[in-house]
Structure 1
Amino acid sequence: MNFFSQPPSIPGVTFLSSRDARTWVVHQFAFVPGEEAQGLMGLLRHLQPGDKICVEDQRAADERYLEVRRTGTEFQIQTSHHGTSGTWKAASFDEALAFLAPSAPCLHGSSPQTTGSYTRCR
């Protein structure tokens, strides 16, 4: 399956839309209610070097995002705000999972606040 024309099939994840920005493709996703943990683990396992997952931090009072990216065999995590980015920090699979997990139960909708994005670099 060509990931750039169609997102992958990952149990627990529903892909809602895709946007091709030439050097990357962004797939908006939501989790199937009750399958958030399975979906999140599947997304992280599917990340290729250069790929990134971004979700809104549902615990924050302001507009804050949690990001995980894959670099070679490692993961990196960061918190960012609209227009600013934090510092990428090395993380294990389990640390990346724990970093995103608190926001996963809120990702069931179709608005930017209730979906996540999976960015695939070309």
Structure 2
Amino acid sequence: MTSRYIYFISKSSTVIYKLCIGKGTAKERLKECELEIVSMLLAPVPEKLLPLKERIKKNLFYSGFRSSNEKGTASLTKSLYGKRNTTASKFIKDIYNLHTEVKSFIDYPEE
């Protein structure tokens, strides 16, 4: 059962590694990892962690800026527009927290 979360751990490990060693600000590192983050968020996580995963999706891929003819395309760059680096750092922390929670779930599955 827990083996299905290995894919998430693999993808999130890559994201965290790139976020840690990447150059630039927290916002720039998040933008640089956009494809990996999308891939990570498509992977399954335990049901009790879905609210955290959904919060990460909302924070990273929601943009309040929409013109009348735009269908609400979601992109990390648009979502981070106008955000502070401290906010971007909190988004990175959420990614790390989700990774550690899933890892803990794998290491110590609930009976």
TM over 0.5: no
Higher share in helix:
2
State TM-score, norm by structure 1. Answer: 0.33
Where relative contact order (Cα < 8 A, 6+ residues apart) is larger, the structure is: 2
Higher share in strand:
1
State TM-score, norm by structure 2. Answer: 0.35
